[in-house]
């Protein structure tokens, strides 16, 4: 892979996840400062997951139909920026609902389009997905840590200006993304729904959705949960950073892991560790060392699980179905799963309390474990020479 191309893609991932690292840990705290209840926050935050059910599929179809990725990445980034500007004037549930719905329609589509662009480049340049995605994780860490201490120092209102600056930077960077050449693939002769209806694809999507349901609770309410138990914003940012540091490490180790283990084994082990992680967050919230250990498991519950999932999705959706495949994966796993976790988690937090909510969240990866173990049947695959993660 050419150094310049690697740099451009890595830079885009860094800034995109820099936004995510500022938004995910702290937006719930901002909404709480605006006097929204836990149930209201669950509904508002889930708008991003709901949008991921529908919006990426439209943009993915448009990208595959036109054979272009970069114009649509640029457009969704610009419209997402416009939507975010409106947040400054949004007060009260109705107006915040309207603005966040508009914002989420576009920001939820930028990543799957960028993922399909990156994977298309890797298919023709023999590049390394994990080395590019690792920069996204680095961006998340820097934002989460820096913003945690900034909020402790200046107050939660500084979050809006911080996010606006990042959104502007992200839009500017879309002009540096090169258009890939999409290679032909044997599955091009099939319709997209013939691919989706395969039992293996269904099992993977259901298993991923169940895993993300638990993470929907985490992303929406982990910071609020810790804040209610006396943790400072700086410490909350550090705990988020620990998880993502471990995520980076697992991305760096993926070549060796993929060379030794099948994709199914990686998925199953990740799901088992997710059950342990969410259980620990539930019953050990007042024990910092146990929380730190639980955060290290993010390496598996997101890192290795996402890497293996993308690899399997790439095997089934390629060529002219590539952008649509990434969109479907994002829609079902992160859209449906994230929505269920976000909305149900909000009501559970409000009526059952944080500890019971996170204990219940552990049930979802347990169900996902059963689905993947019984329903996903892959051939002898996943050597590092065969995958995008080499």
Please give the full DSSP string across 165-217, using - where no structure is assigned. Answer: HHHHHHHHHGGGPPPPPPPP-GGGGS-HHHHHTSHHHHHHHHHHHHHHHHHHH
267: in domain? yes
Residue 227's pLDDT is 92
* Confidence (pLDDT) at 318: 61
CATH number of the domain where residue 190 is located: 1.20.1250.20
CA pair distance 165, 161, nearest whole angstrom? 6
Residue 1 has pLDDT above 50, yes or no: no
Instruction: Tell me the mean pLDDT in the region 51-73.
Output: 78
Domain count, the chain: 1
Task: Label residue 255 by pLDDT band (50, 70, 90).
Answer: confident
| Token pair in block for residue 389 | 């993660």
Q: How many helices (H) and strands (E) does the chain have?
A: 17, 0
Compare 42 and 293 and report the one with higher pLDDT: 293
Least confident of 53-57, 210-214, 325-329, 379-383: 379-383
Is pLDDT at 123 greater than 70 in this prediction?
no
pLDDT digits (tens, 9 = 90+) for 218-242: 998 999 999 999 999 899 999 999 9
Query: Of 9-23, 55-69, 181-195, which gets the smallest average pLDDT?
Result: 181-195
Best mean pLDDT range from 124-133, 182-191, 274-283, 328-337: 274-283
- From 57-61, 110-114, 189-193, 253-257, the region with the lowest mean pLDDT: 189-193
User: Is residue 104 predicted with pLDDT exceeding 80?
Assistant: yes
pLDDT at site 126? 56
Question: Residue 321: what pLDDT?
Answer: 55
Q: Is 164 exposed, middle or buried (0-12, 13-18, 19+ CB in 10 A)?
A: middle
Average of pLDDT values for 321-329?
67
Does 185 reside within a domain? yes
Is residue 56 one of the residues assigned to a domain?
yes
Q: Which tokens in the block code for residue 174?
A: 């879309």
pLDDT at 328: 79
Residue 384 domain flag? no
Radius of gyration of the chain (CA): 20
Query: Distance (Å, rounded) from C-alpha 68 to C-alpha 282?
Result: 45
pLDDT bucket at 108, cuts 50 / 70 / 90: confident
Q: Please tell me the predicted confidence (pLDDT) of residue 386.
A: 41
Q: Is there a contact between 164 and 42 (Cβ–Cβ < 8 Å)?
A: no
The pair of three-digit structure tokens given for residue 52, joined into one six-digit string: 């991921």
Task: Confirm whether 390 is domain-assigned.
Answer: no
- Assign 263 a pLDDT band (cuts: 50, 70, 90): very high
Query: Does any domain span residue 31?
Result: yes
Mean of the pLDDT values across residues 368-373?
A: 96
- pLDDT score for 238: 93
pLDDT for position 188 = 47
Task: Indicate if the pLDDT at residue 177 is higher than 90.
Answer: no
Residue 380 located in a structural domain: no
Q: What is the arithmetic mean of pLDDT over 160-180?
A: 89
pLDDT at 373 over 60: yes
- In whole angstroms, give the CA distance from residue 213 to residue 371: 14
Mean pLDDT of 319-335: 71
Which is higher by pLDDT, 113 or 217? 217
Q: What is the pLDDT of residue 170?
A: 92
Q: Is residue 262 part of a domain?
A: yes
pLDDT recorded at residue 247:
87
Percent of the chain beyond pLDDT 70? Answer: 87
Average pLDDT, the chain: 84
Using the predicted structure, report yes or no on whether residue 358 has a pLDDT greater than 60.
yes
Give the structural domain span for 312.
Answer: 3-375
Question: 6-10, 112-116, 117-121, 150-154 — which one is most confidently predicted on average?
Answer: 150-154
């Amino acid at each position: 892979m050419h150094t310049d191309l690697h740099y451009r893609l890595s830079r885009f991932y860094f800034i995109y996840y820099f936004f995510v690292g500022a938004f995910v840990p702290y937006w719930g705290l901002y909404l709480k400062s605006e006097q929204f209840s836990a149930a209201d926050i669950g509904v508002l935050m889930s708008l991003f997951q709901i949008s991921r059910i529908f919006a990426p599929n439209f943009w993915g179809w448009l990208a595959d139909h036109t054979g272009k990725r970069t114009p649509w990445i640029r457009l969704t980034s610009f419209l997402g920026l416009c939507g975010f500007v409106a947040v400054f004037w949004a007060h009260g549930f109705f107006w915040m609902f309207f603005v966040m719905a508009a914002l989420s329609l576009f920001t939820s589509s930028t990543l799957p389009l960028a993922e399909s662009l990156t994977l298309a480049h890797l298919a023709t340049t023999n590049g390394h997905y994990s080395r590019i995605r690792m920069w996204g994780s680095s961006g998340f860490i820097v934002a989460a840590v820096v913003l945690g201490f900034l909020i402790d120092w200046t107050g939660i209102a500084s979050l809006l200006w911080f996010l606006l600056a990042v959104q502007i930077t992200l839009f500017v960077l879309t002009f540096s993304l090169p258009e890939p050449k999409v290679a032909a693939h044997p599955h091009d002769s099939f319709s997209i729904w013939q691919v989706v209806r395969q039992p293996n694809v269904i099992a993977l999507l259901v298993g991923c959705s169940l895993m993300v349901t638990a993470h929907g609770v985490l992303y929406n309410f982990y910071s609020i949960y810790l804040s209610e138990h006396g943790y400072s914003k700086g410490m909350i940012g550090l705990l988020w950073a620990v998880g993502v540091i471990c995520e980076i490490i697992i991305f760096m180790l993926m070549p060796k892991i993929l060379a030794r283990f099948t994709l199914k084994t990686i998925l199953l082990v990740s799901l088992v560790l997710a059950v342990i992680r969410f259980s620990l967050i539930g019953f050990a919230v007042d024990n910092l060392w146990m929380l730190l250990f639980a955060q290290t498991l993010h390496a598996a519950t997101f890192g290795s699980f996402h890497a293996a999932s993308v690899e399997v999705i790439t095997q089934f959706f390629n060529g002219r179905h590539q952008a649509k495949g990434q969109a479907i994966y994002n829609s079902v796993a992160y859209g449906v799963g994230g929505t269920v976790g976000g909305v149900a988690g909000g009501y559970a937090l409000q009526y059952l309390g944080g500890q019971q909510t996170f204990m219940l969240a552990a049930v979802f990866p347990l169900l996902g474990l059963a689905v993947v173990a019984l329903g996903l049947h892959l051939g002898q695959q996943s050597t590092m020479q065969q995958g995008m993660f080499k």
